[in-house]
Amino acid sequence: MPNIKKGMMGAAGSSGFIAPPGTPGELWGWGSQGDGQLGVGNVLTISSPTQVGSSATWVSVGYGNVITGAIKSDGTLWTWGAAHHGATGHGNIDTHVSSPVQVGSLTDWHTIQGGSQHMCALKTDGTLWAWGRNDGGHLPFNDNIKRSSPVQVGSLTDWAQLSSASSYKVHAAIKTDGTLWVWGVGSLDILVFITTDGGTIWHGMVASADSS
């Protein structure tokens, strides 16, 4: 059983995770699921924390409503859950996976955040990437085209932090110059950015016009 005091907890719908706080560690999940988003090899309801695989090298985890992604200390990206709209990033839209599967072969992933059947991520070079559902502006590409594998957003290399709101429909990112950028759909959502030393650097309500 993991020591919760040494982990970072999060909720994904009616599921939960314990993840390492920025240093390599194990990943544990529990709760209800229908698409394998807990990553424990099945779609059953799990009533107590269960380890995701056997790896002890996870450093970052992001979760959406039916999708989960995580990054290992070697910089590889792994996802699992429902592949609706290409949300797993594996190049398909109908193959669900109930345990972690690597996305591509790159080793420079840094931060991952889940959404409503889509995901956004940062690389170590400061680039922003997104994939999955996009029928309402879920992805910051200024179109409604879904992507089934990671696609870079623009060409900028100054993205520093990434966060998602409780509805999984709104995302925000901070650049190295301190400016805040927001995209997605929904009504009012709360976004919180936490620094590596535990301090909150931005906390507030984000409003968007589309409530779908």
In the predicted model, is pLDDT for residue 14 greater than 50?
no
Amino acid identity of 209? A
Q: What is the CA radius of gyration of the chain?
A: 16
CATH among 2.40.50.140, 2.60.40.730, 2.130.10.30, 1.10.645.10 for 4-159:
2.130.10.30
Token pair 């932090």: residue? 161
Instruction: Give the start-to-end residue ranges of the domains of the chain.
Output: 4-159
Q: Using one digit for the tens of pLDDT, what is the confidence trace for 57-70?
A: 999 899 888 899 99
In the predicted model, is pLDDT for residue 84 greater than 60?
yes
Q: What are phi and psi of 84, to 5 degrees?
A: -50, 135
Show the tokens assigned to 103. 């996305």
Band of residue 127 on the pLDDT scale cut at 50, 70, 90:
very high
